[in-house]
Structure 1
Amino acid sequence: MAELYYMNIEDPISAEDYQTLLGTCASDKREAIHKFRFEADRKRTLYGEVLARFMITKKTGAAMPDIEFDKNSYGKPYVKDQNEIFYNISHSGKYVVCGLDTEDIGIDIEEIRDIDLDIAKRFFHVKEYEDIISREIREQAHSLYDFWTLKESYIKFLGVGLSKPLNSFYFMINGESVQLCSQEDHTVYFHRYLLQDNYRLAVCVSTPDLIHMEKISLHDLVAYIKSES
Protein backbone atom coordinates (compact mmCIF):
# COMPACT_ATOMS: atom_id res chain seq x y z
CA MET A 1 0.00 0.00 0.00
CA ALA A 2 1.32 3.43 -0.96
CA GLU A 3 1.60 6.02 1.80
CA LEU A 4 1.28 9.80 1.69
CA TYR A 5 2.31 12.23 4.39
CA TYR A 6 1.83 15.96 4.12
CA MET A 7 2.84 19.00 6.16
CA ASN A 8 1.92 22.66 6.46
CA ILE A 9 5.01 24.87 6.12
CA GLU A 10 3.19 27.75 7.82
CA ASP A 11 3.34 26.04 11.22
CA PRO A 12 5.75 28.08 13.39
CA ILE A 13 9.17 26.52 13.97
CA SER A 14 11.85 27.39 16.51
CA ALA A 15 15.51 27.78 15.59
CA GLU A 16 16.28 24.64 17.59
CA ASP A 17 13.69 22.53 15.77
CA TYR A 18 14.84 23.89 12.42
CA GLN A 19 18.36 22.71 13.20
CA THR A 20 16.97 19.33 14.25
CA LEU A 21 15.41 18.91 10.81
CA LEU A 22 18.57 20.10 9.05
CA GLY A 23 20.60 17.59 11.03
CA THR A 24 18.92 14.69 9.24
CA CYS A 25 20.02 15.94 5.80
CA ALA A 26 23.20 15.36 3.85
CA SER A 27 25.66 18.26 3.68
CA ASP A 28 24.99 19.01 0.01
CA LYS A 29 21.26 19.25 0.67
CA ARG A 30 21.86 21.60 3.60
CA GLU A 31 23.97 23.82 1.36
CA ALA A 32 21.27 23.82 -1.32
CA ILE A 33 18.63 24.78 1.24
CA HIS A 34 20.71 27.69 2.54
CA LYS A 35 21.02 29.11 -0.99
CA PHE A 36 17.29 29.76 -1.35
CA ARG A 37 16.47 33.45 -1.02
CA PHE A 38 13.01 33.03 0.49
CA GLU A 39 12.20 31.27 3.74
CA ALA A 40 9.17 29.50 2.23
CA ASP A 41 11.37 27.88 -0.43
CA ARG A 42 13.89 26.79 2.20
CA LYS A 43 11.08 25.22 4.23
CA ARG A 44 9.49 23.45 1.27
CA THR A 45 12.80 21.86 0.29
CA LEU A 46 13.79 20.99 3.85
CA TYR A 47 10.41 19.58 4.86
CA GLY A 48 10.18 17.48 1.70
CA GLU A 49 13.61 16.00 2.34
CA VAL A 50 12.87 15.26 5.99
CA LEU A 51 9.45 13.77 5.20
CA ALA A 52 11.10 11.37 2.75
CA ARG A 53 13.73 10.36 5.30
CA PHE A 54 11.09 9.95 8.01
CA MET A 55 8.93 7.69 5.84
CA ILE A 56 11.86 5.59 4.62
CA THR A 57 13.13 5.17 8.18
CA LYS A 58 9.71 3.97 9.33
CA LYS A 59 9.63 1.49 6.44
CA THR A 60 13.20 0.17 6.56
CA GLY A 61 14.56 0.96 10.01
CA ALA A 62 17.53 2.84 8.54
CA ALA A 63 18.74 5.87 10.49
CA MET A 64 17.47 9.07 8.89
CA PRO A 65 20.93 10.66 8.35
CA ASP A 66 22.26 7.43 6.79
CA ILE A 67 19.76 7.35 3.92
CA GLU A 68 21.33 8.29 0.59
CA PHE A 69 19.55 9.67 -2.45
CA ASP A 70 20.49 9.95 -6.09
CA LYS A 71 18.77 10.97 -9.34
CA ASN A 72 18.27 9.26 -12.67
CA SER A 73 19.33 10.88 -15.94
CA TYR A 74 16.05 12.84 -16.06
CA GLY A 75 16.35 14.13 -12.50
CA LYS A 76 13.93 11.77 -10.74
CA PRO A 77 15.18 11.07 -7.21
CA TYR A 78 15.54 7.57 -5.82
CA VAL A 79 16.92 5.84 -2.73
CA LYS A 80 20.41 4.46 -3.30
CA ASP A 81 20.95 0.74 -2.73
CA GLN A 82 17.20 0.13 -2.48
CA ASN A 83 15.09 -1.57 -5.14
CA GLU A 84 11.92 -1.98 -3.08
CA ILE A 85 11.43 1.60 -1.87
CA PHE A 86 10.29 4.38 -4.19
CA TYR A 87 9.38 7.91 -3.21
CA ASN A 88 8.28 11.19 -4.70
CA ILE A 89 7.92 14.72 -3.32
CA SER A 90 5.75 17.64 -4.36
CA HIS A 91 5.00 21.04 -2.85
CA SER A 92 2.87 24.05 -3.60
CA GLY A 93 1.77 26.99 -1.49
CA LYS A 94 1.70 25.95 2.15
CA TYR A 95 1.76 22.17 1.65
CA VAL A 96 4.58 19.68 1.18
CA VAL A 97 3.67 16.09 0.30
CA CYS A 98 5.76 12.93 0.13
CA GLY A 99 4.62 9.60 -1.28
CA LEU A 100 6.22 6.20 -0.65
CA ASP A 101 5.57 2.83 -2.27
CA THR A 102 7.24 -0.48 -3.05
CA GLU A 103 6.96 0.34 -6.76
CA ASP A 104 7.20 3.53 -8.79
CA ILE A 105 5.08 6.44 -7.59
CA GLY A 106 4.44 9.94 -8.89
CA ILE A 107 2.65 12.74 -7.02
CA ASP A 108 1.79 16.36 -7.70
CA ILE A 109 0.06 18.99 -5.60
CA GLU A 110 -0.94 22.42 -6.88
CA GLU A 111 -2.58 25.40 -5.23
CA ILE A 112 -5.63 26.40 -7.25
CA ARG A 113 -5.23 29.99 -8.37
CA ASP A 114 -6.54 32.28 -11.08
CA ILE A 115 -5.79 30.64 -14.40
CA ASP A 116 -4.76 31.53 -17.91
CA LEU A 117 -6.50 29.09 -20.22
CA ASP A 118 -3.78 29.68 -22.81
CA ILE A 119 -1.59 27.39 -20.66
CA ALA A 120 -3.95 24.50 -21.31
CA LYS A 121 -4.31 25.45 -24.97
CA ARG A 122 -0.52 25.51 -25.47
CA PHE A 123 0.57 22.52 -23.43
CA PHE A 124 -2.37 20.16 -22.88
CA HIS A 125 -3.91 17.74 -25.34
CA VAL A 126 -6.70 19.31 -27.39
CA LYS A 127 -9.27 16.94 -25.82
CA GLU A 128 -8.35 18.16 -22.33
CA TYR A 129 -8.51 21.80 -23.40
CA GLU A 130 -11.93 21.27 -24.95
CA ASP A 131 -13.11 19.59 -21.75
CA ILE A 132 -11.94 22.55 -19.64
CA ILE A 133 -13.53 25.30 -21.74
CA SER A 134 -16.79 23.35 -22.00
CA ARG A 135 -17.33 23.78 -18.27
CA GLU A 136 -18.90 26.70 -16.46
CA ILE A 137 -16.48 29.54 -15.70
CA ARG A 138 -16.40 28.82 -11.96
CA GLU A 139 -15.42 25.18 -12.64
CA GLN A 140 -12.65 25.81 -15.16
CA ALA A 141 -9.85 26.44 -12.66
CA HIS A 142 -10.58 23.21 -10.78
CA SER A 143 -10.75 21.33 -14.07
CA LEU A 144 -7.43 22.71 -15.31
CA TYR A 145 -5.65 21.82 -12.07
CA ASP A 146 -7.27 18.40 -12.09
CA PHE A 147 -5.68 17.67 -15.47
CA TRP A 148 -2.44 19.41 -14.52
CA THR A 149 -1.83 17.34 -11.39
CA LEU A 150 -2.79 14.10 -13.12
CA LYS A 151 -0.38 14.81 -15.97
CA GLU A 152 2.46 15.81 -13.64
CA SER A 153 1.94 12.76 -11.41
CA TYR A 154 2.09 10.49 -14.46
CA ILE A 155 5.28 12.07 -15.82
CA LYS A 156 6.87 11.86 -12.38
CA PHE A 157 5.80 8.22 -12.13
CA LEU A 158 7.55 7.51 -15.44
CA GLY A 159 10.61 9.45 -14.30
CA VAL A 160 11.31 10.92 -17.73
CA GLY A 161 10.79 14.61 -17.00
CA LEU A 162 9.50 16.82 -19.79
CA SER A 163 11.12 14.61 -22.42
CA LYS A 164 7.54 13.36 -22.69
CA PRO A 165 5.44 16.30 -23.93
CA LEU A 166 2.29 17.05 -21.94
CA ASN A 167 0.18 16.87 -25.09
CA SER A 168 1.45 13.41 -26.09
CA PHE A 169 -1.16 11.79 -23.83
CA TYR A 170 -4.46 12.82 -22.32
CA PHE A 171 -6.95 12.04 -19.60
CA MET A 172 -10.68 11.54 -19.72
CA ILE A 173 -12.37 12.44 -16.42
CA ASN A 174 -15.93 11.44 -15.65
CA GLY A 175 -16.82 12.06 -12.03
CA GLU A 176 -14.45 9.90 -9.98
CA SER A 177 -13.40 7.88 -13.02
CA VAL A 178 -10.05 8.69 -14.65
CA GLN A 179 -8.93 7.14 -17.93
CA LEU A 180 -5.42 7.62 -19.28
CA CYS A 181 -5.01 7.59 -23.06
CA SER A 182 -1.35 6.99 -23.85
CA GLN A 183 0.86 4.94 -26.12
CA GLU A 184 2.77 3.59 -23.13
CA ASP A 185 2.22 -0.14 -22.64
CA HIS A 186 1.56 -0.37 -18.92
CA THR A 187 -1.24 -0.16 -16.39
CA VAL A 188 -1.32 2.65 -13.85
CA TYR A 189 -3.86 3.90 -11.35
CA PHE A 190 -4.68 7.42 -10.23
CA HIS A 191 -5.98 8.85 -6.98
CA ARG A 192 -7.21 12.44 -6.69
CA TYR A 193 -7.67 14.58 -3.61
CA LEU A 194 -8.89 18.07 -2.81
CA LEU A 195 -7.27 19.66 0.25
CA GLN A 196 -9.04 22.60 1.89
CA ASP A 197 -10.98 23.28 -1.33
CA ASN A 198 -8.06 25.03 -3.01
CA TYR A 199 -5.32 22.41 -3.39
CA ARG A 200 -5.43 19.64 -5.96
CA LEU A 201 -3.37 16.50 -5.37
CA ALA A 202 -2.92 13.57 -7.74
CA VAL A 203 -1.08 10.29 -7.19
CA CYS A 204 0.00 7.80 -9.86
CA VAL A 205 0.78 4.24 -8.74
CA SER A 206 1.10 0.81 -10.33
CA THR A 207 -1.49 -1.05 -8.22
CA PRO A 208 -5.17 -0.38 -7.45
CA ASP A 209 -4.63 -0.65 -3.68
CA LEU A 210 -5.94 2.03 -1.36
CA ILE A 211 -3.51 4.76 -0.29
CA HIS A 212 -2.87 5.65 3.34
CA MET A 213 -2.84 9.45 3.63
CA GLU A 214 -1.94 11.30 6.81
CA LYS A 215 -1.10 14.83 7.88
CA ILE A 216 1.85 15.07 10.24
CA SER A 217 2.52 18.08 12.41
CA LEU A 218 5.90 19.71 12.73
CA HIS A 219 5.81 18.96 16.46
CA ASP A 220 5.29 15.23 15.89
CA LEU A 221 7.98 15.05 13.22
CA VAL A 222 10.56 16.76 15.42
CA ALA A 223 9.58 14.55 18.37
CA TYR A 224 10.10 11.44 16.23
CA ILE A 225 13.54 12.61 15.10
CA LYS A 226 14.62 13.33 18.67
CA SER A 227 13.34 9.95 19.85
CA GLU A 228 15.48 8.22 17.21
CA SER A 229 18.64 10.19 18.03
Structure 2
Amino acid sequence: MAAPATDRVTTAIGLANVTVITFDLAKLTDDVERQIAGAIAPARRERAARYRFADDRRRSHVAGALIRRALARSGEDPAGEHRLSAGKHGKPFLPGAALHFNVSHAGDRVVCAVSAQNLGVDVEAVMCPGLDLRKIFSPDERDYVEGGDIVERARRFTRVWTLKESYIKYLGVGLGLPLRDFSVVHGEQLAVIDGAGDSSPSMHVRDWGQYVLALCHDQRDAVCIESATAAELLEFC
Protein backbone atom coordinates (compact mmCIF):
# COMPACT_ATOMS: atom_id res chain seq x y z
CA MET A 1 0.00 0.00 0.00
CA ALA A 2 1.24 3.49 -0.80
CA ALA A 3 1.99 5.68 2.19
CA PRO A 4 -0.36 8.53 3.03
CA ALA A 5 1.20 11.64 1.51
CA THR A 6 3.39 13.58 3.92
CA ASP A 7 3.54 16.72 1.77
CA ARG A 8 -0.16 17.59 1.94
CA VAL A 9 0.56 20.36 4.41
CA THR A 10 1.71 23.47 2.59
CA THR A 11 4.05 25.78 4.48
CA ALA A 12 3.29 29.46 3.91
CA ILE A 13 3.64 32.89 5.49
CA GLY A 14 0.68 34.70 6.98
CA LEU A 15 -2.74 33.64 8.25
CA ALA A 16 -4.32 31.05 5.99
CA ASN A 17 -7.71 29.40 6.41
CA VAL A 18 -5.98 27.01 8.80
CA THR A 19 -2.84 28.04 10.67
CA VAL A 20 -0.74 25.78 12.88
CA ILE A 21 1.66 27.64 15.19
CA THR A 22 4.45 25.47 16.59
CA PHE A 23 7.10 25.91 19.25
CA ASP A 24 10.20 23.93 20.22
CA LEU A 25 10.65 23.80 24.00
CA ALA A 26 14.42 23.69 23.51
CA LYS A 27 14.14 27.42 22.72
CA LEU A 28 12.37 28.26 25.98
CA THR A 29 14.49 29.99 28.63
CA ASP A 30 13.54 30.16 32.30
CA ASP A 31 13.06 33.93 32.04
CA VAL A 32 10.68 33.66 29.08
CA GLU A 33 8.72 30.94 30.84
CA ARG A 34 8.33 33.10 33.95
CA GLN A 35 6.97 35.97 31.85
CA ILE A 36 4.55 33.66 30.06
CA ALA A 37 3.37 32.11 33.30
CA GLY A 38 2.62 35.59 34.66
CA ALA A 39 0.41 36.47 31.67
CA ILE A 40 -1.60 33.33 30.87
CA ALA A 41 -4.95 32.54 32.42
CA PRO A 42 -4.78 31.90 36.19
CA ALA A 43 -6.64 28.60 35.76
CA ARG A 44 -3.97 27.29 33.38
CA ARG A 45 -1.16 28.62 35.57
CA GLU A 46 -2.63 26.94 38.65
CA ARG A 47 -3.17 23.69 36.78
CA ALA A 48 0.40 23.76 35.47
CA ALA A 49 1.73 24.34 38.99
CA ARG A 50 0.21 21.04 40.08
CA TYR A 51 2.21 19.04 37.54
CA ARG A 52 4.94 16.96 39.08
CA PHE A 53 7.44 17.38 36.26
CA ALA A 54 8.88 20.68 35.03
CA ASP A 55 8.52 19.70 31.35
CA ASP A 56 4.77 19.23 31.81
CA ARG A 57 4.53 22.70 33.33
CA ARG A 58 6.56 24.15 30.46
CA ARG A 59 4.30 22.54 27.86
CA SER A 60 1.19 23.90 29.56
CA HIS A 61 2.64 27.42 29.84
CA VAL A 62 3.67 27.46 26.17
CA ALA A 63 0.27 26.12 25.10
CA GLY A 64 -1.33 29.12 26.80
CA ALA A 65 1.06 31.50 25.03
CA LEU A 66 0.37 29.88 21.66
CA ILE A 67 -3.38 30.24 22.19
CA ARG A 68 -2.89 33.95 22.93
CA ARG A 69 -0.82 34.32 19.78
CA ALA A 70 -3.41 32.45 17.72
CA LEU A 71 -6.19 34.69 19.06
CA ALA A 72 -4.24 37.83 18.21
CA ARG A 73 -3.36 36.55 14.72
CA SER A 74 -7.08 35.91 14.14
CA GLY A 75 -8.13 39.43 15.15
CA GLU A 76 -9.29 38.47 18.65
CA ASP A 77 -8.09 39.94 21.94
CA PRO A 78 -5.25 37.68 23.18
CA ALA A 79 -6.48 38.30 26.72
CA GLY A 80 -9.52 36.29 25.67
CA GLU A 81 -7.44 33.27 26.65
CA HIS A 82 -8.57 34.06 30.19
CA ARG A 83 -12.19 33.42 29.15
CA LEU A 84 -11.66 30.00 27.62
CA SER A 85 -14.25 27.38 28.33
CA ALA A 86 -14.42 23.68 27.55
CA GLY A 87 -16.99 21.46 25.90
CA LYS A 88 -18.51 18.33 27.40
CA HIS A 89 -15.41 16.28 26.63
CA GLY A 90 -12.85 18.97 27.39
CA LYS A 91 -12.35 20.58 23.96
CA PRO A 92 -11.53 24.26 24.58
CA PHE A 93 -13.39 27.14 22.94
CA LEU A 94 -13.73 30.89 23.34
CA PRO A 95 -17.36 31.86 24.08
CA GLY A 96 -18.73 34.39 21.61
CA ALA A 97 -15.87 34.08 19.13
CA ALA A 98 -16.28 32.72 15.59
CA LEU A 99 -13.02 30.87 15.97
CA HIS A 100 -11.93 27.27 16.40
CA PHE A 101 -8.62 26.15 17.81
CA ASN A 102 -6.98 23.08 19.27
CA VAL A 103 -3.68 22.42 21.04
CA SER A 104 -1.41 19.40 21.40
CA HIS A 105 2.04 18.72 22.80
CA ALA A 106 4.49 15.85 23.00
CA GLY A 107 8.12 15.80 24.07
CA ASP A 108 9.58 19.21 23.17
CA ARG A 109 6.92 20.09 20.59
CA VAL A 110 3.85 22.23 21.33
CA VAL A 111 1.32 23.15 18.62
CA CYS A 112 -1.82 25.27 18.34
CA ALA A 113 -4.08 25.06 15.28
CA VAL A 114 -6.59 27.84 14.57
CA SER A 115 -9.29 28.30 11.92
CA ALA A 116 -12.72 29.80 11.29
CA GLN A 117 -13.94 26.19 10.91
CA ASN A 118 -13.83 23.14 13.14
CA LEU A 119 -10.52 21.30 13.53
CA GLY A 120 -8.47 18.91 15.62
CA VAL A 121 -4.68 18.61 15.86
CA ASP A 122 -2.33 16.06 17.37
CA VAL A 123 1.45 15.71 17.62
CA GLU A 124 3.29 12.63 18.81
CA ALA A 125 6.87 11.41 18.99
CA VAL A 126 7.49 8.52 16.61
CA MET A 127 6.70 5.35 18.55
CA CYS A 128 6.90 1.63 17.91
CA PRO A 129 3.57 -0.22 17.80
CA GLY A 130 3.38 -1.89 21.18
CA LEU A 131 -0.29 -2.83 20.91
CA ASP A 132 -2.25 -5.49 19.08
CA LEU A 133 -3.16 -3.60 15.90
CA ARG A 134 -6.20 -5.81 15.39
CA LYS A 135 -7.77 -4.21 18.47
CA ILE A 136 -7.28 -0.58 17.46
CA PHE A 137 -6.74 -0.34 13.67
CA SER A 138 -8.82 -1.22 10.61
CA PRO A 139 -7.54 -3.80 8.07
CA ASP A 140 -6.41 -0.98 5.72
CA GLU A 141 -4.61 0.76 8.58
CA ARG A 142 -2.89 -2.47 9.62
CA ASP A 143 -1.85 -3.20 6.02
CA TYR A 144 -0.34 0.27 5.75
CA VAL A 145 1.60 0.00 9.03
CA GLU A 146 2.82 -3.53 8.39
CA GLY A 147 3.84 -2.69 4.82
CA GLY A 148 7.04 -0.98 5.99
CA ASP A 149 10.31 -2.34 7.32
CA ILE A 150 10.92 -2.40 11.07
CA VAL A 151 12.06 1.27 11.14
CA GLU A 152 9.39 2.62 8.80
CA ARG A 153 6.71 0.68 10.64
CA ALA A 154 7.12 2.91 13.70
CA ARG A 155 6.65 6.06 11.65
CA ARG A 156 3.65 4.62 9.81
CA PHE A 157 2.07 3.55 13.09
CA THR A 158 2.54 7.07 14.47
CA ARG A 159 1.03 8.66 11.36
CA VAL A 160 -2.13 6.59 11.69
CA TRP A 161 -2.30 7.10 15.47
CA THR A 162 -1.99 10.89 15.24
CA LEU A 163 -4.58 11.08 12.45
CA LYS A 164 -7.02 9.06 14.52
CA GLU A 165 -6.37 11.23 17.59
CA SER A 166 -6.78 14.44 15.57
CA TYR A 167 -10.11 13.15 14.22
CA ILE A 168 -11.38 12.39 17.73
CA LYS A 169 -10.32 15.90 18.79
CA TYR A 170 -11.97 17.32 15.66
CA LEU A 171 -15.25 15.72 16.79
CA GLY A 172 -14.68 16.84 20.38
CA VAL A 173 -15.82 13.47 21.76
CA GLY A 174 -12.82 12.62 23.91
CA LEU A 175 -12.63 8.90 24.67
CA GLY A 176 -16.25 8.47 23.58
CA LEU A 177 -15.18 7.13 20.17
CA PRO A 178 -12.92 4.06 20.35
CA LEU A 179 -10.01 4.05 17.89
CA ARG A 180 -11.13 0.77 16.35
CA ASP A 181 -14.56 2.15 15.42
CA PHE A 182 -13.27 4.05 12.38
CA SER A 183 -10.45 4.09 9.85
CA VAL A 184 -8.35 6.98 8.52
CA VAL A 185 -6.84 4.91 5.68
CA HIS A 186 -9.05 3.66 2.86
CA GLY A 187 -7.12 1.83 0.16
CA GLU A 188 -4.44 4.35 -0.77
CA GLN A 189 -6.40 7.41 0.33
CA LEU A 190 -6.69 9.37 3.57
CA ALA A 191 -10.34 9.45 4.59
CA VAL A 192 -12.49 8.72 7.62
CA ILE A 193 -14.52 5.57 7.16
CA ASP A 194 -17.40 4.79 9.56
CA GLY A 195 -16.56 7.74 11.75
CA ALA A 196 -19.00 9.66 13.92
CA GLY A 197 -19.14 12.76 11.70
CA ASP A 198 -21.56 13.44 8.83
CA SER A 199 -18.70 13.80 6.35
CA SER A 200 -14.98 13.15 6.14
CA PRO A 201 -12.86 16.19 7.04
CA SER A 202 -9.71 17.26 5.21
CA MET A 203 -6.82 15.29 6.67
CA HIS A 204 -3.14 16.19 6.71
CA VAL A 205 -0.15 14.37 8.14
CA ARG A 206 3.40 15.65 8.24
CA ASP A 207 6.62 13.97 9.32
CA TRP A 208 8.42 16.44 11.58
CA GLY A 209 11.82 15.07 12.50
CA GLN A 210 11.23 12.52 15.23
CA TYR A 211 7.61 13.66 15.51
CA VAL A 212 4.45 13.40 13.44
CA LEU A 213 1.90 16.22 13.17
CA ALA A 214 -1.67 15.42 12.08
CA LEU A 215 -4.61 17.73 11.40
CA CYS A 216 -8.31 17.23 10.62
CA HIS A 217 -10.32 20.28 9.58
CA ASP A 218 -13.34 21.52 7.63
CA GLN A 219 -11.41 23.77 5.25
CA ARG A 220 -10.32 22.48 1.84
CA ASP A 221 -7.53 24.97 1.19
CA ALA A 222 -3.84 25.12 2.07
CA VAL A 223 -2.63 24.95 5.64
CA CYS A 224 -0.05 27.39 6.98
CA ILE A 225 2.51 26.04 9.45
CA GLU A 226 4.72 28.54 11.23
CA SER A 227 7.32 28.21 13.96
CA ALA A 228 7.10 30.79 16.74
CA THR A 229 10.21 32.20 18.40
CA ALA A 230 10.51 32.86 22.12
CA ALA A 231 10.22 36.59 21.43
CA GLU A 232 7.01 36.01 19.49
CA LEU A 233 5.55 34.05 22.38
CA LEU A 234 6.05 37.12 24.58
CA GLU A 235 4.56 39.51 22.02
CA PHE A 236 1.02 38.89 23.24
CA CYS A 237 1.81 38.03 26.85
If the length of structure 2 is used for normalisation, what is the TM-score? Answer: 0.86
Other structure's SS at 2:96 match? coil
5+ residue gaps in structure 1? none
Q: SS of the counterpart of 1:60?
A: coil
Percent identity of equivalent pairs: 26
Q: How does 1:169-180 map to 2 (within 5 A)?
A: 169-172=182-185, 177-180=189-192
- Residues 97 and 109 in structure 1, CA contact (< 8 A), matched pair in contact too: yes
Matched, 1:3 2:34: no
Match of 2:223 among 203, 208, 211: 211
The runs of at least 4 aligned residues of structure 1 exceeding 3 Å deviation read: none
Q: 1:36-92 CA distances to partner (integer Å, 9 max, x unpaired)?
A: 11111001111011101111022124142664111111111111222x101000111
What does residue 163 of structure 2 align with? Answer: 150
The answer on whether the counterparts of 1:4 and 1:211 sit within 8 Å (CA) in structure 2 is yes
Q: Which of the residues 19, 25, 41 maps onto 2:56?
A: 41
Residue 135 of structure 1 aligns to a residue whose secondary structure is: coil
Pairwise mapping of residues 48-59 of structure 1 onto structure 2 (< 5 A)? 48-59=63-74
Q: What aligned pairs does 1:130-209 form with structure 2 within 5 A after superposition?
A: 130-172=143-185, 177-183=189-195, 184-196=197-209, 198-209=210-221
Q: CA deviation at 1:219?
A: 2.5
Q: Match for 2:121: what amino acid?
A: I
Aligned length: 220
Equivalent residue letter for 1:32: R
**2-side partners of 1:225 and 1:169: how far apart?**
39
For the aligned residues, what is the CA RMSD?
1.9
Distance in 2, Cα, partners of 1:115 & 1:33: 30
Alignment partner, residue 13 of structure 1: 29
State how 1:72-151 maps to structure 2 within 5 Å.
72-82=87-97, 84-118=98-132, 120-151=133-164
After superposition, the Cα gap between the structure-2 partners of 1:116 and 1:187, relative to the gap in structure 1 and judged at 3 Å, is: closer
Structure 2 stretches lacking a partner, 5+ long: 1-16
CA deviation map 1:191-215 (0-9, x unaligned): 111112x111110011211011100
**What are the superposed Cα offsets for residues 83-140 of structure 1, whole Å, 9 maximum, x if unpaired?**
x10100011111000000001110011101333142x333222432243223322221
Matched residue SS, 1:10: helix
CA contact (8 A) 2:24 2:108 kept: yes
Structure with the greater relative contact order (CA < 8 A, sep ≥ 6): 1 or 2? 2
Aligned-partner Cα distance in 2 for 1:112–1:189: 22
Contact 1:25–1:65 (CA under 8 A) maintained in structure 2: no
Alpha-carbon distance in 1 for matches of 2:143, 2:131: 11
CA shift for structure 1 position 173:
6.0
